[in-house]
Every structure is written in C-alpha cells, then in structure tokens.
Amino acid sequence: MTKRVYNFYAGPATLPLPVLQKAQEELLDFKGTGMSVLEISHRSKEYGETHTQASQLLRELMGIPSDYKILWLQGGASTQFFMVPLNLQVKGKPMEYVQTGAWSNKAIKEAKLYGDVKIAATSEDKKYSYIPKGVKFSENAAYAHITGNETIGGIEWHETPKTPNGVPLVCDMSSNFMDKVVDVKKFGVIYAGAQKNLGPAGVTIAIIREDLLTRVPENTPTMLKWKIHADKDSLYNTCPSFAIYICKLVLDHLKSLGGIAAIEKTNHKKAKIIYDIIDKSSGFYRGVASPESRSLMNLTFNLSTPELEEKCVAEAKKRSLIGLKGHRDVGGMRASLYNAMSLEGTQKLAEFLTEFQEQNEKTSTIVSKQL
C-alpha cells in the first residue's frame, strides 16, 4: 500500500484520490495511443477531446451561459493581476478594487501600473479580518474587482456585491473556485489559478463575458490578449495539456459526486466541524476571521503562543495531518479544506485538535497549580 496522508496545504493542494489513480492508470498509454498524455500533441484528436470535454464539464457544472468564454491560460492568477487591467481598462475611468488582504493587495499593485485605481472599500482597519459590507462602486468605473477568498487571511465573500449597470465585476476565485454555487451572470470575469481547488499547478482558468474581449488595445502583445485565446479555444500556442487533463478528471469526479450544490453542502459541514472546535475551545484556539466572513476553504486560527502552535503542527504531522502551519507572512495555523479534502480527513483533524487541547490545557493547569 502506498502511504497517503491528510494534506491541508493551501496550494498546490490535495487532489481526489480517484483522480490520481485514474491518471496513474492512463499515464503510459493515453486512449490506446501507446503514448502518455504528457507526450502527445496538443493538437491530436485524442487530446483535443479531453480539452473540449474539460470546458464542457466546467460549463455544465458552473452553469456558465453561452455568451461567456472559458480560457485555459498560463502564468498563474498573478498574471491575471495585470491581464485584467490590460484587457479591461478604459481611458479616463478608474479601476475599482476592494482591499481585503494579501492577494487583493497584489492585484491592486499591478493595476496601478496601468492607470487610476480607486479602493472602493477596505478591511485594513482590522487587519483584513472581515469582508466589507454594502460596498458601493461608482457608475463610471471601468470595472470592479474583488478577491473571492483571501487564502492567507481566511476570509471569503459569501454574497456577490452589486455593481452599477455597465460596470463588470471581476473576481479572483483562485482559492474558492467551485466551492459553492455562484451565479456566473453576476460576473464579467472570473479567474483562478487551478492549483488550489481544481487541479494541479500550471493552468489558470478565466471565464469572460464575450463583450469584454474587445476592449483590449490593438498594440497589446498577442499572448496577453484574452481575445486571442478565446478565438483559438485556448490553443493559440501550446496549452498546458497535462494540467488541463487533470482538471478534466477532477471535473468528472465532481460531477459524479452530484455537482457543486452537493460539494457546497459537504464544504459547509467540513468547515463547521473545525469552526465549532475553535468556538467551543474557551479561547484555546482563536479564529482569525470575523465569524460572518469566515472562509469555507482556508480556516485560520491561533494558539496562545507561537511555541504552542509549533508543537501543534509537529504533533499533527505525527498523526499524518500535514500542512497546518499558517502562511509565513502572518504565522498562526491554517487548515485548507478544499473540495478534495474528505469529511473523514476533516474529522481526523477535529479529533486531533480536541485531544491536543485536552493534553495541553492539563499541562498548563498542572504547571500553574505547582506555581
């Protein structure tokens, strides 16, 4: 038996075991070609079917309307941070961003290279521990941008904000892509690096309403125009075919589980198990995010000292619970419960956290009695 652990890393992240097994099974001989999908042309018939099916499955599972294009790109979500302003800016109109943490700040930094950026709302006052409410965007904005889920801080938009007529909403869904049902029509552009909640590193999804493809200035480098990739069905140049193939297998798997509505239910169940432990721990575990903004995907919390956190991470590792250390910029702890994390893995984590509290509270009471 191959050793498998419970992987709570933020990204690249855990993938469904049946997907990995299927990829393993097909690795040496893809669809009877006698070649691996890693070795064949991105223009071959065999790969072409997989490429088309990946987009079809995504369209079906997310209910993406026919006037939206699905692009499979490279360069990560970080490349979309500048492709968004490059493709959507309008001379004389501000680009409006909601500032909610590390990832939105990186997006804002890139947009500023292109023109006037306005911060429509921010949660900087409370260390980005919440999603601002009642955000208003101006009527003359070129577009409005939000970060669907702040992977480092652990806060998530649970409702889609409204924008004035004619102002497209752009959302970075890298770490909450398909974690819940969303109405794609409310967005002009959705983009996401695949390596958190959809597949492996190396491919980035962009879902773009057709009318937004033509704003891009003519003298833009070809590869940076969304329109080129849309017109060529993401096959203008060599696409990241292996990564797209794995995404296709993940989409098959999600469909077999009952689609996004079913996944969303499980995600709520999983997140509740861990947040309940935090809330009932009498302050032993302290949640970072304000409760109404808590992420379903990245659950951030602290213990009383960095030393105790380190001990907790180390003991979890002995129980095959891996990747619970918080992001290096903020410290603390983080459990990423992406779609591919099982209910069983979540329960194992819950049992561990409960025991860890019992054992370490006892020690601290004994110590204080002796003093």
Ligand X SMILES: *Cc1c(COP(=O)(O)O)cnc(C)c1O
Which 231-270 residues touch ligand X, going by CB under 6 A? none
Q: Which residues, at least 6 apart from 270, have a Cβ–Cβ distance to it below 8 Å?
A: 296, 337, 341, 343, 346
Please report whether residue 295 would count as binding ligand X according to CB under 6 A: no
Report the residue from 44, 53, 74, 78 that binds ligand X according to the rule CB under 6 A. 78
Report the residue from 100, 129, 175, 300 that binds ligand X according to the rule CB under 6 A. 175
Please report whether residue 128 would count as binding ligand X according to CB under 6 A: no
Please report whether residue 174 would count as binding ligand X according to CB under 6 A: yes
Please report whether residue 161 would count as binding ligand X according to CB under 6 A: no
Report the residue from 57, 62, 77, 111 that binds ligand X according to the rule CB under 6 A. 77
**Of 11 and 161, which CB lies nearer to ligand X in the complex structure?**
11
Please report whether residue 147 would count as binding ligand X according to CB under 6 A: yes
Determine the interface stretch with ligand X among 19-27, 92-100, 124-132, 169-177 (rule: CB under 6 A).
Answer: 169-177
Pairing of strands 189-193, 204-209: antiparallel
Q: How far is CA 186 from the centre of its chain?
A: 18
Helix/strand/coil (H/E/C) assignment for every residue in the chain: CCCCCEECCCCCCCCCHHHHHHHHHHCCCHHHCCCCCCCCCCCCHHHHHHHHHHHHHHHHHHCCCCCEEEEEECCHHHHHHHHHHHHHCCCCCCEEEEECCHHHHHHHHHHCCCCCEEEEEECHHHCCCCCCCCCCCCCCCCEEEEECEECCCCEECCCCCCCCCCCCEEEECCCCCCCCCCCHHHCCEEEEECCCCCCCCCCEEEEEEHHHHHCCCCCCCHHHCHHHHHHCCCCCCCCCHHHHHHHHHHHHHHHHCCHHHHHHHHHHHHHHHHHHHHHCCCCCCEECCCHHHECCCEEEEECCCHHHHHHHHHHHHHCCEECCECCCCCCCEEEECCCCCCHHHHHHHHHHHHHHHHHHHHHHHHHHHHC
* Total interface residues for ligand X by CB under 6 A: 12
Whether 172 is a known active-site residue: answer yes
Closest residue by beta carbon to ligand X: 76
Query: In whole angstroms, how close is the CB of 139 to ligand X at the nearest point?
Result: 27
Helix axes 306-318, 343-370, angle to 10 degrees: 130
Please report whether residue 172 would count as binding ligand X according to CB under 6 A: yes
**Of 86 and 277, which CB lies nearer to ligand X in the complex structure?**
86
Query: In whole angstroms, how close is the CB of 149 to ligand X at the nearest point?
Result: 6
Whether 196 is a known active-site residue: answer yes
Marked catalytic residue, from 172, 226, 248, 325 = 172
Marked catalytic residue, from 69, 72, 103, 227 = 103
Please report whether residue 193 would count as binding ligand X according to CB under 6 A: yes
Please report whether residue 76 would count as binding ligand X according to CB under 6 A: yes
Please report whether residue 103 would count as binding ligand X according to CB under 6 A: yes
**Of 12 and 115, which CB lies nearer to ligand X in the complex structure?**
12
Query: In whole angstroms, how close is the CB of 11 to ligand X at the nearest point?
Result: 5
Whether 248 is a known active-site residue: answer no
Determine the interface stretch with ligand X among 36-44, 120-128, 161-169, 171-179 (rule: CB under 6 A).
Answer: 171-179
Residues 7-36 vs ligand X: string with x where CB under 6 A?
A: ----x-------------------------
Marked catalytic residue, from 69, 93, 179, 196 = 196
Residue numbers annotated as active site: 103, 172, 196
Applying CB under 6 A, the residues found at the interface with ligand X are 11, 76-78, 103, 147, 151, 172, 174-175, 193, 196
